[in-house]
Amino acid sequence: MKLLAALLLVLMANSAWADILVPVRTIRAKELITAEDLMLKNVAVMGALSDPAEVVGQEARVALYAGRPVRPGDIGPPALVERNDLVKLIFRHGGLTIETEGRSLGRGAVGEFIRVMNMSSRATVSGRITADGSIEVN
């Protein structure tokens, strides 16, 4: 019991009361977060986000419930490619560039890796999503 009390005191000493962001309504996964969806709450929660600029315009990766803290892993950049989208596959090596059509097997944002089925060969490849929505395969 004394050990638990000592541990609690250490944790309380290391956590400070600060403004954190909490949703004012339930935000479903894959939904974009707006400034109207958030409010500041003064509580002690380790790892919670406090800067609205970090959250507004991001996509909820999981359901965010009203009044609960928003953590970095709960949000991410909005998906650019959805599952089953037709996308351009691009392979570059030196001066050679090969482009073909593919179908995405997942969803993701710019810079993320997803699997894509090459529509010509029906082979499954992995590639990185670029800003224009095409997939670079190496």
Rounded mean pLDDT, 5-15 = 51
Residue 10 maps to a domain: no
Residue 138 has pLDDT above 90, yes or no: no
Question: Residue 130's pLDDT is what?
Answer: 96
Q: Which residues pair with 84 in a beta bridge?
A: none
Question: Residue 19's pLDDT is what?
Answer: 86
Q: How many domains does the chain have?
A: 2
Rounded mean pLDDT, 25-35 = 95
d(CA 115, CA 91) in angstroms, rounded, equals 14
d(CA 103, CA 41) in angstroms, rounded, equals 43
Residue 54 maps to a domain: yes
Residue 117 maps to a domain: yes
Domain with 68, as residue range(s), is 17-76
Q: Is the torsion defined by CA of 138, 126, 128, 136 positive or negative?
A: positive
Rounded mean pLDDT, 92-109 = 95
Q: Does 62 lie in the same domain as 29? A: yes
Phi-psi region at 84: left, alpha or beta (left = phi > 0; alpha = psi -120 to 50)? left
Residue 40 has pLDDT above 70, yes or no: yes
Q: Which carries the bigger pLDDT value, residue 74 or residue 45?
A: 74
CATH of the domain at 34: 3.90.1210.10
Residue 59 maps to a domain: yes
